[in-house]
Structures are given as structure tokens and as C-alpha cells.
Structure 1
Amino acid sequence: MGRMVRSCVQSILKLVNSVIGMVGLAMVLYAVWLIRVWQRQMDEFPFGDSDYPPPWFIYTFLGLGITLCVITCSGHIAADTINGCCLYLYMFFVFLLLMLEAAVTADVFLNRDWEEDFPEDPSGSFDQFKDFFRSNFHICKLIGLSIVTVQGLAFLLAMILKALGPHQYYDSDDDYPPERAPLLQNAVQPPPYLAEDHVYGSKPDAWNIRINDKTNR
């Protein structure tokens, strides 16, 4: 029963972790597209782009996407191995991500001048993102809550999997791994070496009979 529950939790954790990976991959693709658009805009200027600061919003978006992909890989490894260190490391990454999201959300909702906390983005992608978020506030809010819920569920499943622990095959002396038990049960014991003594045991008796016949003659 415990093995079935453990396998079920592993499967659910992998599924939830895949959703986080899909979000990270989407962020990476979007950031790559923004970088390509930014490069095209900079090529249109006759003079170099040395006077323009780097587009921090694009690179931040790209870094967050790569971070989510790395967290997804660590989560799949932790779910497969059920290793304590891997599970703790995965929970630590998810916890830091949740704290970062909570800090940004609190700053946006509690600070009226939150836009001044961020530097100016020369690419204009940050302004486009704000306009899209404001025009589609309810949809973006639902997507954000869904992502946070998935991350919290992944953290909870990792804690449950750590509490269940790895597979236990050697609970007693009579329990063996399923792939090794038939070999041990059907093992053939070698024949005793006493059979060889039985084969050669008749020779001394025959030798004694011959000596007795000679003496009688």
C-alpha cells in the first residue's frame, strides 16, 4: 500500500513539475523573441547602440524562464530518486521562488510608486507588458494565481514524498527485491562431497579380500 501511494505521489509531482517547466519554456521563448525584436530596432539606428543601456526587462524575463527550467529538471530528478538532498534542494528553490513572487506582488499592491523601483527599459517591453496586464487584468490575475498554486502544490508534494521516504525492500530477513527473490528461491544447492567418498569406498574392501584369499592359499 505504501509503495502504491509513493508511486502516485511521484507521478503527480512529475505532472505538476512539468507545468512549471512549460511556463519556464514559454518565458524563455518570449524573451528570445523580444531580444530578436530589440536587435532589429538597434540595427535601424545609423550610429551604434553604445549610448543605450541593456534591456534589463528582457534579460530578467529570460533569467526567470531558465531558472524555472532548472527547477523543473531538479524536481524530476528528486521525484525519480526520492533522495533527501535532492528533495530538500528542490523545496528550497521553490520556496525562494515563492518568496520572490510574494515580494514583487506586495511591492506592486502596497507601493503606489512601484514603477520607480525599476530602471527605465530602453526596449519598451516593460511598458508593453504593463499595458497588456492592465488591459487583461482578470485573465493575468487568474494565470498568476494558477502558477502560484501549482508551485505551492509542488512544494507540498515534495514534502509528502520526503516523509514517505524511499522504497524499502529489506524490512525483514525474508523480504527480498522482486527481481532477486526467484533466483534465491530456485537456487540449486551443490551436491555434498561425501558422494565421492562413497564411490571410492569399495576399493579398500576389495584390496582386503584379495589379501585374505592369498593368505588362505
Structure 2
Amino acid sequence: MASLIRSFLQSLMKMFNAIIGMAGIAMVIYSFWMIRVWHKQTGHSPFEESDYPFPWFIYTFLGLGVTFCVITCSGHIAAETMNGCCLYLYMMIVFLLLVLEGVITADVFLNHNWEQDFPKDPTGNLHELKVFIRENFDFCKWIGLPILAAQGLSFLLAMVLKALGPHRDRYYDSDEEYAASRHPLLRNSADPPHVADSLYAPRK
């Protein structure tokens, strides 16, 4: 029964991690699109040195997307192995990400001049994203809430899996501790008599 519960929780954690991973892949694709637009406008890649201002928004969005993908991979490994160190590391990364998201969200909703806290975006993508969110607030809300819920539930499931511990059937004792009846192949069986020797043996 305990093994079934662990397997069910592992599957749930992998599913929620897949949601985070899909969000990360979407952010990486959007970052590549912004890099393409920046290259068309300036003739330079954002990763090259140029006289244009630093496109920090592209770097930030790309970094967040890669971070989401790394969290998904680490969460899948932690859920599959149920290793204590992997689960602790995963919980720490997700907790820091939740704190960062909470701080940014609180700053945006409570501070009316929140744009002054960020450096000027030379690409203009931050303004376009802000306008898109305002015009499609309900749509963005129903996308953001599942991602946030997936992060929180993944954190809780990692805590539960850490409390349950690993599968006991994954750890085996040495063969010497088993009874002789458990491993008959390890016995030294006597050699059967040879039929040919008995046929050609000299008769008295």
C-alpha cells in the first residue's frame, strides 16, 4: 500500500513538473523571438558587444525559462530516485523561486511606480508585455495561476516524499543473509554419476 502511495505521489510530482517545464519552454521560445527581433532592428545579436543599451529583459526572460527547465529536470530526477539530497535541493530552488515571484508580484500590485525599480528596457518588449497583460488580464491570470499552483504543489509533494522516505524494496541485503532455501543456485550440488562410466566399467 505504501509503495502505491509513493508511486502515485511521484506521478503527481512529475505531472506538475511537466507544467513548469512547458512554461519554461514557452519562455525560452519567446526569448528567441525577442533575440530575432533585436537582431533585425540593430543588426547585432544581444550577446555581442555593441553601442546599443544592454537588453536586460531578453536576458532575464531567457534565464527564467532556462531556470524553469532546470527545475523540471531536477524535479523529475528527485521524484524518480526519491533521494534526500535531490529532494532538498529541489525544494530549496522552488522555494527561492516562489519567494522571488512573490516579491515581484507584491511590488507590481502595491507600488504604482514599479517600473522605476527596473532599468530602462531598450527593446520595448517589457512595455509590449505589460500592454498585452492589461488587455488580456483574464487570459494571463488563468495561465499564471496554474503555473504558480504547480510550483507550490510540487514543493509540497517533495516534502511529503521526503517524509515517506525511499522504497524499501530498492535496498537489498547481501546474499549471505538469505536462507539456503532462498537461493538454491548457490548450493554446491554433487556431480551426477556418469552413465558412460558405469557401462564401460570392468565387470568382475
**Identity value in percent:** 59
Q: 1:184 to 1:91 in 2, by over 3 A?
A: farther
> Does the Cα contact within 8 Å between 1:170 and 1:176 map onto a contact in 2?
no
Residue 67 in 1 paired to residue 67 in 2? Answer: yes
TM-score in terms of structure 1 length: 0.77
Distance 1:186 1:26, change over 3 A: same
**Distance change in 2, residues 1:61/1:187 (3 Å):** same
Task: Provide Cα deviations, 1:185-217, integer angstroms capped at 9, x if missing partner.
Answer: 35153358xxxxxxxxxxxxxxxxxxxxxxxxx
RMSD (CA atoms): 2.5
Q: Which runs of 5+ in 2 are unaligned?
A: 191-204
| Alignment match, 2:113 | 113
SS for the counterpart of 1:9 is helix
Aligned to 2:182: 185
Q: Secondary structure at the match of 2:169?
A: coil
Which structure 1 residue ranges, 4+ long, deviate > 2 Å from structure 2? 183-186, 188-192
* Letter of the 2:108 counterpart: V
Identify the residue that residue 141 of structure 1 maps to in structure 2: 141
Aligned equivalent of 1:213: none
Partner of 2:200: none
> Mind listing any 5+ residue stretches in structure 1 that lack a counterpart?
193-217
> For residue 3 of structure 2, what is the aligned residue in structure 1?
3
SS at match of 1:22: helix
d(CA) in 2 for partners of 1:140, 1:11: 27
Change in Cα spacing, 1:170 to 1:12, as seen in structure 2 (3 Å) is closer
State the alpha-carbon separation in 2 of the partners of residues 138 and 184 from structure 1: 67
Distance in structure 2 (CA, Å) of the matches to 1:135 and 1:184: 73
SS in 2 for 1:169: helix
Distance 1:191 1:66, change over 3 A: closer
Q: TM-score, normalised by structure 2?
A: 0.82
CA distance in 1, matches of 2:66, 2:120: 23
